Chains A and B, each alone.
Chain A
Amino acid sequence: DTGVSQDPRHKITKRGQNVTFRCDPISEHNRLYWYRQTLGQGPEFLTYFQNEAQLEKSRLLSDRFSAERPKGSFSTLEIQRTEQGDSAMYLCASSTRPPGLADRSSYEQYFGPGTRLTVT
């Protein structure tokens, strides 16, 4: 396991359809994050998990979005009733929990290649 993987890499769907994306983090990482990136912007935080617990959700994450990490390993992000405004790159990242305040290197998040969603 050399990095974060995401599937699929590209998804084209019609408005109103449901889509689901998968993220497999680096195996020893217990924190997993989802971000969304649109053209000309930096990644924007959506949600994150520590093990299987979802600890924070952004206001960007409307009721149509749901994320799970059932066994604390891989995660899925589902978008229901997709809208054209959902078209974006969806990025997953993982990191380890800092064992102590001195080990700030654990704050680094490692990103997967992303899933490009196009809603027509």
Chain B
Amino acid sequence: DQQVKQNSPSLSVQEGRISILNCDYTNSMFDYFLWYKKYPAEGPTFLISISSIKDKNEDGRFTVFLNKSAKHLSLHIVPSQPGDSAVYFCAAKQAPGTASKLTFGTGTRLQVTL
């Protein structure tokens, strides 16, 4: 049962353009969401997060949007740079007092071309 879904396994974007990575979830108990970036042979690196009480969080070139009613979130990267090429994972955490584990999606491989 995949509770966090990233339906696009790959995405190719030109340098300077916007990259939009999407994530859907099914568990309504999730109340905190995170995006991680992963390079080959390295562990995931935390990128940006958002609480369910917000609908947008911005950090430099990275913005995460949350649509709680649709159980959908997206990560926008603008402008995209070649160094952004990596696999991006969406992750979700349940409310405090319950499990502290993260539930991850299957990832989207982003390639930023020149």
Contacts and interface: CB of A to CB of B under 8 A. Distances in A.
A108 B100 contact: no
Q: For the side of the interface on B, what is the size category?
A: 20 to 34
Contacts of A109: 34, 46, 102
A33 interface: yes
A113 B101 contact: no
Nearest to A10: B41
A35 B41 CA distance: 15
**Majority secondary structure of chain B interface residues (helix, strand, loop or mixed):** strand
Contact of A108 (B41, B43, B49, B104): B49
Contacts of A98: 96
Interface string B96-114: 1001111111110000000
Interface of B: 4, 32, 34, 36, 41-46, 49, 51, 89, 91, 93, 96, 99-107
* Interchain residue pairs A-B with the least CB separation, the first 10: A42-B104, A111-B43, A45-B101, A111-B44, A113-B43, A43-B104, A108-B46, A114-B43, A42-B89, A112-B43
21 contacts: A6-B43, A31-B100, A33-B100, A33-B101, A40-B106, A42-B89, A42-B91, A42-B105, A44-B104, A45-B102, A45-B103, A56-B101, A104-B32, A105-B49, A108-B46, A108-B49, A109-B102, A110-B46, A112-B43, A114-B42, A114-B43
